[in-house]
Structure 1
Amino acid sequence: MSTAAAPGRILNIPNILTLLRIAAIPVLCVLLLSPSREAGFWAAALFAAASVTDWLDGYLARRMGIETVFGKFLDPIADKLIVMAALIMILPYDRVPAWMVLVILGREIIITGLRGIASTEGIVISASVLGKFKTIFQLVAIIGLLLHYDYRWFFGIDHPMLVVNMHNAGMFYLWIATVITIWSGVDYLAKFMKLIAK
């Protein structure tokens, strides 16, 4: 077996991508200390790049056959940390309702706790398709909320039909993400209770 494929090797490409995603969090927070358009743009670009690495690290780990316990542990933590950081940092600018942030973060904390309890009992509850949709809508919503301002996406033409208010777009997707967050949380809790009862 090659060194790169050794299951115990921590510093492989997927895990490095995950660590880079965690390293991006303080940079994201520093950018979001300012509510300016420029800071929001670069924060959105950084968040989007981090979101791509979220997909890429999992894909590479499976493709290269180098999935590790360290990676399986760290990857979901990195995802939750960067989402939490982005939402908390824009709270003071009233770009997102506090109750939505509470619901989203509360769900993640509860489900993480339930997974920990289940794992100690040797129970594995597979992720549902709802969780995947929740993540997608959350990421799209946060990018919109970070951009926040009006953007002219068609060659800079200033026409009402060609100008998109990114805050409104972000809130549209955040509402969907919040509904799916509650739905998937209830679904996971039901699965957990059913398996524990057995």
Structure 2
Amino acid sequence: MNLPNKLTLARVIAVPFFIVLYLLGHIYTATIIFILASATDALDGHIARSRGLVTNFGKIMDPLADKILVISALVILVQLGDVAGWMLIVILAREFIVAGLRTVAAADGIVIAAGFSGKLKTVSQMIAVPLLLLKNWPCKYINIPLDQIMLWICVILTVISGIEYIVKNKEVFLKGGL
């Protein structure tokens, strides 16, 4: 297994540690784990592309690892009342739609790469979640609800990127009999 794939796998393995630590009240340690795991996303992609180490495992697991990490955090935040449930539903719906679209396309040998808005969505999530986990620290001291602002940006980018995937790949839907 190459280094980018190990980093992707490490991101998935970090999730249970993040969850347990956060729920046990070790908020800062859990948030650091989340941030480090998020950082591996950019790192593994950069290493894979620059060194010619792109694999099918990485193509599948890298976006999946991101979703497992972010969705796990958002589920906890919904459970604790820090994120509205409908926001998580919007995010999950987009992820299921895009995953379904990619699955249908893959059956025809088509690879649907991440679009720019999808990458922005992921980055915004990986900024918003730590702010939400830390209850808007340090911005709460200057009365700027950056955690909520970033959460709204995530939801908006989620919708925009979902629409982008559908519009750019409408032929996949049409081929499927829609």
Tell me if TM exceeds 0.5: yes
The partner residue of 2:138 within 145, 151, 159 is 151
Instruction: Please name the residue that 1:171 is paired with.
Output: 148
* Equivalences for residues 38-187 of structure 1 within 5 A: 39-148=26-135, 150-151=137-138, 163-164=141-142, 168-187=145-164
Task: Mark the CA change 1:172 to 1:70 in structure 2 (over 3 Å): closer, same or farther.
Answer: same
Alpha-carbon offset, residue 197 of structure 1: 4.0
After superposition, the C-alpha distances for 1:34-84 in whole angstroms (9 at most, x for unaligned) are 4x4xx2222221111111100001111112211111111111111110011
Task: Mark the CA change 1:15 to 1:126 in structure 2 (over 3 Å): closer, same or farther.
Answer: closer
Secondary structure at the counterpart of residue 138 of structure 2: strand
Q: Which runs of 5+ in 1 are unaligned?
A: 1-10, 153-159
CA contact (8 A) 1:149 1:165 kept: no
Instruction: Please name the residue that 2:12 is paired with.
Output: 22
Computing the radius of gyration over CA atoms, which structure comes out larger, 1 or 2? Answer: 1
CA contact (8 A) 1:150 1:165 kept: no
Instruction: Please name the residue that 1:4 is paired with.
Output: none
Amino acid at match of 2:165: Y
Amino acid at match of 1:87: L
- In 1, the alpha carbon distance for the partners of 2:148 and 2:14 equals 24
CA RMSD of aligned residues (A): 2.0
The TM-score, its normalising length taken from structure 1, stands at: 0.81
CA contact (8 A) 2:131 2:137 kept: no
Secondary structure at the counterpart of residue 79 of structure 1: helix
CA contact (8 A) 1:32 1:90 kept: no
Secondary structure at the counterpart of residue 32 of structure 1: helix
Alpha-carbon offset, residue 170 of structure 1: 1.4
**How many residues get paired?**
175
Alpha-carbon offset, residue 195 of structure 1: 4.9
Alpha-carbon offset, residue 194 of structure 1: 3.5
Taking only the aligned residue pairs, the percentage that are identical comes to: 42
- In 2, the alpha carbon distance for the partners of 1:149 and 1:60 equals 32
Amino acid at match of 2:13: A
The TM-score, its normalising length taken from structure 2, stands at: 0.90
After superposition, the C-alpha distances for 1:94-123 in whole angstroms (9 at most, x for unaligned) are 111110011111211111111000111122
- In 1, the alpha carbon distance for the partners of 2:110 and 2:157 equals 24
Identify, as 1 or 2, the structure richer in helix: 2
- In 2, the alpha carbon distance for the partners of 1:114 and 1:41 equals 37
- In 1, the alpha carbon distance for the partners of 2:162 and 2:137 equals 33
Task: Mark the CA change 1:119 to 1:149 in structure 2 (over 3 Å): closer, same or farther.
Answer: closer
